[in-house]
Amino acid sequence: MMKRILILSEPFGSGHTMVAKAIRDLIICNKAGWKVDVLELSSLLRPAISQMISFAYLQSLKYSPSLWAKIYKKTQYTPIPAHTQFLLRHLMYARIEAVIKEHQPDVIICTHPFPAMMISKLKKSGLHVMLCTVVTDYCFHSSWVNDGVDVYLLPSDNVFQEFIQFGVSPSKLKVTGIPVQPKFLIKSNKTLVRKKLGLADMPTILCMGGGLGVGFDKELIDMILTTQNIQILFVTGRNNRLYQMIETNGYDKDYVHLFSFVENVDELMDASDLMITKPGGVTCAEALVKKLPTLLLQPLPGQEEGNLLFMNKHQYSMYTPDGGSLNRCLESFSNNPTKFLDYFHIQYNNDNQDNVLEVLGSI
């Protein structure tokens, strides 16, 4: 039976829309005839305000991370006040009803808390639609919880337990992992992928700054680029300054491969033995389904701290908060890659991703 699916995201950080598109691709690949649309809701309704919020969010993380940390922790287990939701509604989402009327969805999936809040309010006013919320980090925050949500897709068992403690009925909760694009679920032969990409068949480290290209300063870059007996794949994302810093740094182009924004991260992961990155939710999810051991850099306050705790607890990753700890890991990996990688125990169940389609098909 054909279903109309509307997926609502927001551009505040790069992960929410990546998850939205991953769900869209999962549906397109497996559910013939379903109609799926992805919208960044505030970008559509209030583009100028949306850009201002995105800019303010990134600037606060860059110049005042302690302020963001206080805001995040203060609201983590406290319901979002009614006046805040009222302000969001009138500032950013005043024309949301027109969007719903245009698309006539059977199911609305939200990968950011703000649209979920707004749809939940509309349901109280008489809107008849199934509402699904997808949590995009490995930690709990109260903003994800709304009375009108019919089902939550959760990243992990620990988040499942926190939702229950916050009063959400277990019947509404499904652990699916963070959805990733279908291509990440295909594991390719490491040697063959390296040959396809023109890489040497040798111990390889993938450095990922995420879509915003953050996380690497000059000290860390110099340390990584001078590591012996290792092939480096460096993805800078949309950070042109980082790209230029590495480009002008001087490095052995036979063993260091520099990329800006790429579409084949799945292949780069298959070609690698180890990854260095910040603990963004989507990047961690992609590493887990690829079973790629990860060194995690200093997290941004809030969600990334929760992702770090989850990854380290299960020995999916190792925390390297400073140059000294990262250097020790690089030396150990360079001297004996097999012994170093024995630390990691990535027994992640990729079948969880199938639960996304199972849940959507049952709504």
Looking at this protein, which amino acid is placed at residue 261?
A: F
Order of strands across the sheet that contains 130-134: 35-40, 4-9, 107-110, 130-134, 151-154, 173-175
Alpha-carbon dihedral sign for residues 152, 157, 161, 166: negative
Alpha-carbon span 47 to 36, nearest angstrom: 22
Mean pLDDT by 10 residues, the chain (363 residues): 91 89 92 92 88 84 84 90 85 89 96 96 94 97 96 96 98 95 92 97 90 70 90 89 82 85 95 96 95 95 95 96 94 96 83 72 70
Domains in the chain (CATH in brackets) are 4-179 (3.40.50), 183-341 (3.40.50.2000)
Torsion of CA 130, 135, 140, 142, to 10 degrees: -40
The per-residue pLDDT for 66 is 86
Cβ neighbours of residue 140 under 8 Å, at least 6 residues apart? 76, 77, 159, 162, 163, 166, 306
How many other β-carbons are positioned within 10 Å of the β-carbon of residue 349? 12
Q: Taking the model in full, what pTM does it have? A: 0.93
Decide if 320 contacts 329 (C-beta within 8 A): yes
Decide if 209 contacts 188 (C-beta within 8 A): no
The per-residue pLDDT for 211 is 52
Q: How many residues does the chain have?
A: 363
How many other β-carbons are positioned within 10 Å of the β-carbon of residue 339? 10
Alpha-carbon span 75 to 265, nearest angstrom: 34
Residue with structure tokens 């006046």? 83
Cβ neighbours of residue 353 under 8 Å, at least 6 residues apart? 26, 176, 177, 179, 180, 185, 289
The per-residue pLDDT for 214 is 59
Alpha-carbon span 296 to 302, nearest angstrom: 15
Q: Of 86, 334, 85, 327, which is closest to residue 219 (Cα–Cα)?
A: 327
